[in-house]
Amino acid sequence: MTVCLDLILIWTLIQEDLIRASSVCKDWNDAAETPWLWRRMCLQRWSFCNVLLGGEKTQTWKTYFLRRSHLEKKMTEGRTGGYTCKTLRGHTGSLSVSVCGLLYSVGHDFCKSSVTVCSASSDGTVRAWNVQNGELLWCSPVQNPLIAIVVDEQRGVVITADSTGLIKTWQAQTGQELASYSTGASHCTLLQYSVNNEWFLSVGTRQGSVCTLAGSGLTKKSNVMVCDTFKVNTLLVSPDKKWITAGTKDNDDFSPKVMYTESLNSPSEDEETLSQSLPVTGCRAAVFIPTQPARLAIVHHSELTQNNKVLTVLDVSLKKSKYKTEIQVQQVASFPLTLSSRDSHVHLAAKDSNCIVLATNHCLQVYSLKGALLGSYTDHTMPISGICVDSFRVVTASQDLSLRVLTWTNDRDRGVALEGRYHLLGGSHTMSSGFTHVACDYSSIVASVESKDGKDVLKAYSFTS
């Protein structure tokens, strides 16, 4: 039997059998160590995980697969002591929802357990921390209060915006400032993405426009008006990177727009930006479905329902003819939501092509794309302030100073459901007002805690394998 036939046979085996197959003979051992086999297993199991795709070493992909599988198995046991907790102190300002963002920045060797988290504060500094040991890796010079931060994990670049609209990029591992650009706007929403290995940053402003910058030098490419006089605070890119959705949550009369990224990134002098208003108004929350090219779910205002809130699912596509190119938006589903008038903060995320996660007040709900309520969970005693969702788990942060870790299950009787695994505490209400943000990778969770003395801290939880 040739090695090629061995690979085909091995590919049909489950993980445990693949390990055993490597001991059959030398040819099977060589086949079982093939990098692309482990790489494919990783990408099939975790279709939108934060794996960096640069490495092709056998042990890299194999070690990642085995470590993550083992860690997920341990998480489903929910045992106390299965994680460590570090408090990251150093900021002297607020890390509240309006002035802070958390995103993971990982090194190119994703087998290593070391994870770096970057934070920004109203104290005007960017800080990078080692999540496992709580060490401060670097701190930027003080500038104007920071209001937004995002991280390009693959390139290791941190992007921030301050209260004057000054955009800066930083090297994530060292803190070296790379470039800057002034938008002149006191509010900025940041969205970073890459198209065909080219780097872009779209910035939503208080004036209602979306400014797109390109490359490490932050070269201005375009500036498009979306919602005149209202700030852009909804800004998303589709999984296929062909579409950007922008809108405002501050006015129920405005419709969000979807724009073709090519016309933003490479604008033509004689043609307008290719954009289309979506057939909804009053966007409260939105998310692209991660396993679909360009399927968008939006929670929005509607006068036709009792509580005025509807979730609508739309597909976006491009139609080209001989004389013109136009955007088509097709409704896939639409259904009313059982939200009360006090549910002002809506958090929306997607697990896969048929599962939407919605958090309002202290309740977490799971819907199918057709509107069936698959589950409702009220583990928190105070409003949920942030959620993280992937194909394995859901993490919720709350003002009650707790995090809940739930994992997905799927059986014949109950269908898709969530089971609680961990209840992580963030401190005491005598010193703190609750969690305000949460971010996750597959092995750790970091959340910001609003302190009553104005010096917010980060809580970092690392799950041990």
Residue 160 has a pLDDT of: 94
Residue 19 has a pLDDT of: 59
C-alpha span between 68 and 331 (Å, rounded): 37
Average pLDDT score over the chain: 84
Least confident of 57-71, 399-413, 430-444: 57-71
Residue 344 has a pLDDT of: 65
pLDDT of 162 strictly over 90: yes
CATH node for 3-75: 1.20.1280
Backbone region of residue 208 per phi and psi (left: phi > 0; alpha: psi in -120 to 50; beta: other values) = left
Determine the average pLDDT of the residues in 6-10.
43
Residue 16 pLDDT level (bands cut at 50, 70, 90):
low
Helices and strands (DSSP H and E) totals, the chain:
6, 32
Residue 42 has a pLDDT of: 81
As given in the structure block, the two tokens for residue 315 are 């597909």
Tens digit of pLDDT for each residue in 71-104? 888 888 888 778 889 999 999 988 743 334 444 4
pLDDT of 343 strictly over 80: no
Residue 35 has a pLDDT of: 72
pLDDT above 70 covers what percent of the chain?
A: 84
Q: Where are the domains of the chain?
A: 3-75
Residue 452 has a pLDDT of: 86
pLDDT of 5 strictly over 60: no
Residue 435 has a pLDDT of: 92
Question: Could you give phi then psi for residue 70, rounded to 5 degrees?
Answer: -65, -40
Determine the average pLDDT of the residues in 149-161.
89
- Single out the residue of 155, 95, 90 nearest to residue 128, CA to CA: 90
C-beta of residue 298 within 8 angstroms of C-beta of residue 312: yes
As given in the structure block, the two tokens for residue 47 are 């279709």
Q: How many CB atoms lie within 10 A of CB 354?
A: 15
